[in-house]
Structures are given as structure tokens and as C-alpha cells.
Structure 1
Amino acid sequence: MDTTRNLALAAWMTEHGYSSNALADAVNQALGALTGSPGGLDGSSVRDWKAGRVRWPKSATRAALENLTGLPATALGFVPRGRAASAPAPPQEDPVNRRSFLTATAATAAVPLPLSAAPHRVGATDIARLRGKFAGVVAGDHQHGGIRGIETRALELATEAVDLQGRGSAGQRVRSQLYAVAAAFTSSAMWAAIDGRRFDAARRHHERAASLAAMSGDQAIQFRIWSHAGTLYRHLGHPADALAANDVARNLSVARRDPLFASLGHARHAAIHGATGDLAAVRRSLGHAQEALDRADSSVPRPVWLEAFYGQSELDSLALAAYLALGDWSAAEAHAHRSLAGLRPHMHRSRAIATARLARAQLGQGDLEPAVSTAMGIRPEARRHPRISGMLGAFGTRLRECAPHSPHTRTWTQYEREAPA
């Protein structure tokens, strides 16, 4: 067998910071969105691609890869069966955002529909293609968090979905679905901006996403957008606005019909109540969230964005945020350990956030050595995330305030100084 190395795929992975295991996880997520069942790839599968031992993956895997990267399989160095291998050029770098997820491929990903004399009929195939790309955006978010590349890519795909309205004919149902998928992409841009602490941009994306969602009539995406708005206002320090926005989500009929939506609404309400200092409300909301989660039927199909992150681990993460805000350090630590134990392997950003919060809970209890050890255990690449960087900066400030002469404080200060930028 010809085992010419796939240099194009290797270059793309290096450009976007993917290890073999990380790419396998992301493609498995995209496969789940396309086929309804997650893929079974692992790091060895990707290493086979890179080494040229597998030159043309199965069709579903190729589709998932194309949705994830925005590039055709041949541009990623794969060779159709029966065709001689060539030496494909590696993908071009974007000098502005070299390390941002998918930025280098954004220009080629949004491929316009070919012009022809006959009008294009927009239909289910177009919707499925866009939804596959949305699954790739969601997978990228869990890998990388709120970087600008994800925000930019999501906005470009939202524009692509809206532009399809004017490029061909479509029935009302398909038009509603196009608005819904455009709203979904825009809500992902909104979340990336929130996570990256770009709050002015997040507010603009919220206005656009809410408008698109209203035109779609899709309650699931309306829930996501208004739930995100509640989180935005919580981070801005406006708990009254946060509660009002989250109430919009919780009062939608989808939250009354589906316990999983209801659980997420209650859990995010608990985090907001934590910011107001209302312990009784936190406990009440968490109780409702847990009861609803326990009732949720896991066999019911739900949107990919919800299935990708919400479950017991995320409920505990929101409880952790609530108890940290209240200063109940022991309760916060207990929820941190539960959240970390239940996180899925691909959720790197969520793991880093929960770990930083755990360190703060340990510090609040005066456990300096485990707190510093926990904080130092966060992966260096995660430390560059704006949200995590801010959390660790606040951790260091509080550590120096409460124990300025401790050897553990000196250890942390030296670690901060020597950590790669």
C-alpha cells in the first residue's frame, strides 16, 4: 500500500492546534450530528490518515470532516480510490489569526451556490448541510472556547444561511428552517463573544439572533438565545436583567414540554441568584433543576447544541458558580469535583473553567497548597483563554492578599512569571 504522508491534513491540524485525539473527538461530534449516533474514531484513526495508511475515509467520516473544517476532503490531502496520489499544497495561513479555530479556512468554507439558468430550489439538503456545519462550530467551541475565529466563522455561516433565501425558491417551512439555522449560528457567535469577554459584540449578536429566531418560530433556538442573554447580563454584573432574560427562556413552551430545557433554565437561574446573594433561591432553583434533569428522557432527540453540553456535569458547574458567588466554599468545592468527574473528554474549555473555580473554592477555605496545585494543573493553552486568564488573575490577587508571605504564594507568583504568554 502506498503510505505517502498526508502533509495537508498534518498542516491543517498544526495550524488549528489539534492533536490526533482532539481531532478524533471533534469529528465524532460532527458525525453524531450528521448520523444521529456519535462516531467511534480515536487518535489512532487520525494517525492513520496522517501517515497515509487510510487515504480515503468512509463517506460519513468525510462529510463530518468537511463540515468541521470547511474544506473538501481532497483539499485536506485525501485521495479518492483509484486516483493516483499527488502532493497537495498545505492550506494557506491567515497571518492575522494564525492560531484561531477555522479562521484560515473561512474564506473557502462558505462556498456560494453555482449560478445557472434554472432557479435553485432550496430544500432539505441545504438545511442538512448547514446543520452539519453548525455541529462543527459547536464542536470547535468545546475545544477552543470564545476565540474570535469561532465568532467570525459562525457569523459567516449565518450570512450564508440568510443569503440562501435570495438565491432560490423555497417553501415556508424551509424558509423558517433557514432563519432558525441562521439564528443558531448567530447565537454561537454571541456565545463566543461572551466567553471571550467581548460584551459589546455579544449584545449586537443577541439583537440579530433574537430577530432571526423570532422569524423562524423555532422555540428551541429562542431558548438558547435568551438563556445566553441571561448569562451575558450575569457576567456584566446586572443580575436583574439576567433574571429577566432567563425568564424569557424559561417561560417558552419548549421549557414546559421538555424537562431538559426546564432543567437548564433553572440551573442558570441558580447561578444568577448566587450573584444576588440569595441562598434560599439558589437552593430552590438547583432543586428544581435536579428534579427536571432526573425526569428528562435521554432517548428524546434534541438540538445538537443542547446535547453537546448539558447534563449532570453542567448542572454541577452552574451550582459551583452559584456557591462561589455566595462564598460557600465547601459546597462550591463539592460541586466542582462532581462536575469535573462527569465532564466529557472533548470539553476542554469547561474543564479549565471548573478547575479554576475549584482552585478558588480551595483558596477560600485556606487550603493554599491544594489551591495552588489545582490552579497550576490547568493546561497552558487554556490559560490564554480570556475568561480563564481573568479567573486565574483574580485567584493570584486573592492569594497574595490572604497569604502574602506564604511559600505557596511565592510558588504561584513564580509560575505566573514563567508561564508562556
Structure 2
Amino acid sequence: MAVNAELKKRMRELGLTQEELARQMNAALAELTGRPGDVSARTVRNLVNGASRRPIGRTRVALERVFGCAAEDLGFSPLRTAVPQEDPVRRRTFITSAAGTTAAAAMPFLSQRRTVGMSDVSRDAAGLAELVATDDHQGGHAELEKRAVAGRAGVLELQDRNATESVRRSLFAMAAEYTTIAAWSCIDARALDRAQQYLHEATTYAGLSQDSHTEVHVWINMTMLAYQRRNWPETLAAAQAAQATRAARRDPFYGSMGHIRTSLGYAVLGDGRAALRSLGTARDTLDKASEGERPRWTAFYGAAEVDHLASVVHSHVGEHARAEATAHRALARIPPAFRRNRALATARLALAQLHQGDAELATATAADVFAIMDGDPLPGRMRTLIGDFHRDLFTLAPSTTYAREWGDRMRSEWSRV
């Protein structure tokens, strides 16, 4: 008696235990016949261990329904006799009979809903990773938002199929991640009302997923949205919510994410001492994080991003020399693939230099932003930052040659669609 290795493999791919497979087979029979199925865990055990090599009747049909393929593809022996085509009435009558043995081969169930497994979740995760890579390079834009929404629709369509509880939670996590990418694209593009709507939806999906890592992602984006809206109390509250998640409590990596955003929240509220204390905690906590496999969206975060955000914090508390130093350090560490983040850190460096009175050097630094983006339109968030630089430059040095040349460059770059 040989174990059915193919059936075990398919069950493993779908995350099915023997009890869960029995439950799904019974659900399939109830859907097909209107009567509860009577498949037991013992029946499934016999299918797996090879005691039953040629399932017949309702058992065979239920297997094919759950896995969406012929029983032979699950490692079972073919039926001994071929069955001629029958009319739909006879076919339906047969399947409701427990004594039926051979008509399953003619049942048109393989075209119906199949069971969803972790392999489907993995494919969706790969699609999500492609969107994150696009954002790293180009920043938020309408096409990225559109692709994220389409990805979410595909994930939610899979929820209508048979799946284990763990697979359903993973699908909700994927829906939350795709929705959060759409939200982040809108934040980066400064389409803040749409971002707010997406994040409300993402919060629901994250809750249904019971995935704490996904919750961190949503709260981090809530922090960024509140910051862009200049809603300082909400900026701090969302950061503290990220910090309080189970993932942040258990993994110093996520804990550091929460602390650095909390530092930013304190800084914009004018509490410089608390801001610098949280910044120090973010650095110390990140140092304790182990090298583990984490979701693709977290790849941006590390010592370079802490330095980048530290530059923002120091600027808000009026420490412009330290803001310049940390921006330099960030730029020395940010990988080339994170082009948008390099451009943002460069803009922060220019502002820090400008606020120390070195307007000519700052103008040259700010021009590097356009070179880094290599002719692509600047995302809305970056345009706002460059707009802040432009305003401050013409406040401090309005009639200088370099300021006039900068103004000409700005008009040229702003005309890009």
C-alpha cells in the first residue's frame, strides 16, 4: 500500500489538512446536490495512504470539484469502464445517488470553481513585488494606482472560490497590500482624498487578514497621509498605532519603523526632546533587528532610511546642520534602485543647506533632483518639496544669477506631463 504522493502534494499546496479536505469535499457535494456530504476524515486518510486507489461516485466527484482537475491528476487510478455521454437530467440524478460508481468521468465539473491555495497567494505576492519595485524607481503615478487596484480585484475574485481559513486570511492580507500600494501611490502623487479612501479599505482587509505585518504597513501609510495633510496629531497617533502592533512588539525591525514615525510626529508637534528621544530609540531598535525574510515592501527600510527621516526630524526641530549631515549619510547608503528616495533625500539636503544660508550650493544640490529622476515627471510629493525650496530660495536670494537660472529650470521641469 503506497502513499498517494501526488494527492499529498496537492493538499500541501492548498494548505489542506485531512479534516479540512473532508470538510471541503462535503461542501462541494452540498453545493452540487443540495444534500450534505458524508465524507469523513477516515475516508480522506484512506485516499492519502493508498488504501483507496480508485475512488468512485460521490467521493471521486467531490475530489475533482475541490482540486479542479481529474482524479487521475491526483494520483488515482482511472475508472475501469468508459461511460457514454448522458443527458443532463440523468447526470444530475446519478450524482445524487450514493450507489453511482462510474459517471463521474463524464461530469462537467472541472470547468467550475477550483480550490485556491498558497500557490495562488504566491503568484499574487510576485505581482505585488513588481509594483513595489516600480514605486521605488519612479514614485507614485496614475498607472501604478491602476495596476494596484486591478491586482486587488484579482485577489478578491479568488475569495469567491473554495479555500482554507489560512489561505483566506492570506488573500485578505494580499488585498490589503494591493490597496495600500494604491493608497501610497496616491500619497506620493498628492491625490490625498483617494489615498484616504484606499487606506480605510486597506484597514478593513488588514483586520480580516489578522496579519500584523500588514497592519504595520497600513499604519505607516496612515502616518504619511496625515503628514502630507499637515494633520500633526493624527501623524503621531498613526505612528503610535504602528508601534503598538504585534509585529512591532515582536520584531525590532518593525518596532524601529514605528519609532522613527513617532519621532516625526513629535517633531511636527514641536516636542523636540521627545522627537530626538524616539529617533535614538529607532536607531537602537534597528540595530537589534535580525536579518530575516520580510515582505518586499519593507526593502526600503534600513539605516539609510533612518538617516533620511532623521534629516526631516532635525529640520523640523531647527537643527539644520544635523539635518544636512544625516541627509549626506543617507545618500551615501541609499541603493541606486531606490531612485525616488534618493531624489527626496537630495531635496532634503538642499533645504538643509539653504536654511544654513548657503543658497548657491543648495541650488546646485536641488538641481541634482532632476538629474536623478532622469527626465521622468516628479511625483506630487517631490514637487511639493521642490516647491518649498523654490519659495525659500527666492525669499533669501531673489535677485542672484543662480536663483534666476533655477527659476528657468523650474519652469522647464514643471512643464513635463
Task: Confirm or deny a common fold (TM above 0.5).
Answer: yes
Instruction: Report matched runs for 1:10-89 at 5 Å.
Output: none
- Please state how far the C-alpha of 1:260 moved relative to its aligned partner: 0.3
| 1:47-96 deviation digits (Å, cap 9, x = unpaired) | xxxxxxxxxxxxxxxxxxxxxxxxxxxxxxxxxxxxxxxxxxxxxxxxxx
Change over 3 Å in CA distance of 1:383–1:400 after alignment to 2: farther
SS at match of 1:377: helix
The one-letter code sitting in structure 2 at the alignment partner of 1:319 is A
Q: Does 1:265 align with 2:250?
A: no
Q: Mark the structure with the bigger radius of gyration.
A: 2
- Please state how far the C-alpha of 1:247 moved relative to its aligned partner: 1.5
Q: Does 1:233 align with 2:226?
A: yes
In structure 1, the residue matched to 2:321 is 330
The one-letter code sitting in structure 2 at the alignment partner of 1:264 is M
The one-letter code sitting in structure 1 at the alignment partner of 2:345 is A
Q: Does 1:121 align with 2:115?
A: yes
Distance in 2, Cα, partners of 1:317 & 1:274: 14
In structure 2, the residue matched to 1:381 is 375
Instruction: Report matched runs for 1:128-207 at 5 Å.
Output: 128-166=122-160, 168-207=161-200
In structure 2, the residue matched to 1:301 is 293
In structure 2, the residue matched to 1:37 is none
SS at match of 1:280: helix
The one-letter code sitting in structure 1 at the alignment partner of 2:163 is A
In structure 2, the residue matched to 1:372 is 363
* TM-score scaled by length of structure 2: 0.71
* TM-score scaled by length of structure 1: 0.70
The one-letter code sitting in structure 2 at the alignment partner of 1:303 is P
CA contact (8 A) 1:349 1:382 kept: no
| 1:347-368 deviation digits (Å, cap 9, x = unpaired) | 0100111111111110001111
Over the aligned positions, Cα root-mean-square deviation in angstroms equals 1.4
Distance in 2, Cα, partners of 1:189 & 1:200: 12
Distance in 1, Cα, partners of 2:280 & 2:113: 54
Unaligned runs of 5+ residues in structure 1 are 1-114
Q: Does 1:362 align with 2:353?
A: yes
Distance in 1, Cα, partners of 2:175 & 2:328: 37
Distance in 2, Cα, partners of 1:413 & 1:204: 36
SS at match of 1:143: helix
CA contact (8 A) 1:193 1:199 kept: yes
Q: Does 1:403 align with 2:397?
A: yes
The one-letter code sitting in structure 2 at the alignment partner of 1:206 is L
In structure 2, the residue matched to 1:242 is 235
Distance in 2, Cα, partners of 1:304 & 1:233: 24
- Please state how far the C-alpha of 1:116 moved relative to its aligned partner: 4.5
Distance in 2, Cα, partners of 1:247 & 1:387: 23
CA contact (8 A) 2:239 2:262 kept: yes
| 1:138-193 deviation digits (Å, cap 9, x = unpaired) | 10110111101111111110111011111x21111111110011111101111111
- Please state how far the C-alpha of 1:382 moved relative to its aligned partner: 5.0
SS at match of 2:159: helix
| 1:85-121 deviation digits (Å, cap 9, x = unpaired) | xxxxxxxxxxxxxxxxxxxxxxxxxxxxxx9534311
The one-letter code sitting in structure 2 at the alignment partner of 1:213 is A
Distance in 2, Cα, partners of 1:369 & 1:288: 35
- Please state how far the C-alpha of 1:387 moved relative to its aligned partner: 1.6
Change over 3 Å in CA distance of 1:406–1:118 after alignment to 2: closer
Distance in 2, Cα, partners of 1:272 & 1:244: 8
Give aligned pairs, total: 304
Distance in 2, Cα, partners of 1:370 & 1:139: 32
Distance in 1, Cα, partners of 2:391 & 2:129: 38
Which stretch shows the higher mean deviation, 288-297 or 375-384?
375-384
Distance in 1, Cα, partners of 2:241 & 2:386: 33
CA contact (8 A) 2:183 2:198 kept: yes
Distance in 2, Cα, partners of 1:313 & 1:164: 38
Distance in 1, Cα, partners of 2:288 & 2:162: 42
Unaligned runs of 5+ residues in structure 2 are 1-108
| 1:388-421 deviation digits (Å, cap 9, x = unpaired) | 2221122111111111222221221232234462
Task: Give the percent of matched residue pairs that are identical in Structure 1 and Structure 2.
Answer: 36
